[in-house]
Amino acid sequence: MSISAETDLIGMQAVSKAVALTLRAMQSYAQPGMSTKELDDFGAKMLYSFGAKSAPYSTYEFPGCTCICVNQEVAHGIPSAAKILKEGDLINVDVSAELNGFWADNGGSFVLGNDIHNHAVLVDASKQILKKAISNIKAGVRIKDVGYIIETEAKRRGYKVIHNLTGHGIGNRLHEEPSIPNFRDKMNFSRFRKNTVVAVETFIATHSTMAVLSNPKSDEWTLVGNKGGYVAQHEHTIIITDGTPVILTEANGIWN
């Protein structure tokens, strides 16, 4: 969407605050021995306290309020009472919602408790790469150039990027144009436009370059890497300006 009135800005600030604070609270609330369903229920109550509705549930009838991935899951993990969190797990929580006709999205990967499996380096890389990518976004910048930054920074650290999961426009709906890949798509000639709202996200991988269904016969949602390994994701909803972007979901604290 494009911010064309003060009401647009106020609406986007409100829904972005809801998803950002919910994500931050869910990361703090998670603990070993808890199921991902318990964590999702906590997030759902918090979102509803803002008057917000789960975007994946209302848009796609996703079987949960938030997407929660554990270890080798990459995206769209279904909350489950049978999936129990453990010390050292690599967890990703993605929270998106609608409030009064406005939509926002954010996500973050983190290590639960002690980093006994050495996932923290991957997580930190994803955070740093997102920060660098966003710092280079302004009106007129080519989208493929930001994808190049993400991919180059990942390679420099010994990682890969997931090619078929991207950032996206947002605001009037959960997913809008433009698509914002994590790599330099030579055929993408689009540029970021002033006052538009986008969700920029990293998918930094240890081994894989594509996300595929984990079990197509029984689960039409959960994605894993095509070559295994682990993936860290971080995401902010931002407004494009002529200079530094406005980070609407800054309250999630993923860079703290």
Q: ∠ CA 103-211-143 to the nearest 5 degrees?
A: 55
- Tell me, rounded to whole angstroms, the distance of Cα 228 from its chain centroid: 20
Q: 200 has which bridge partners?
A: 236
Structure tokens at 121: 């380096």
Q: 108 has which bridge partners?
A: 93, 234
* Residue 38, marked binder: no
* Residue 201, marked binder: yes
SS3 content of the chain, % helix, strand, coil (to 5): 30, 30, 40
Structure tokens at 123: 């997580």
Of 143, 141, 108, nearest in space to 122 by CA? 108
Say which amino acid occupies 123: V
* Residue 94, marked binder: yes
* Residue 207, marked binder: no
* Residue 117, marked binder: no
171 three-state secondary structure: coil
Q: Judge whether 89 and 196 are in contact, CB under 8 Å.
A: no
Which residues in 98-128 are b (16+ Cβ under 10 Å) and which e?
A: bbeebbbbbbbbbbbeeeeeebeebbebbbb
List the binding residues for substrate.
76, 175
List the binding residues for a divalent metal cation.
94, 105, 168, 201, 235
List the binding residues.
76, 94, 105, 168, 175, 201, 235
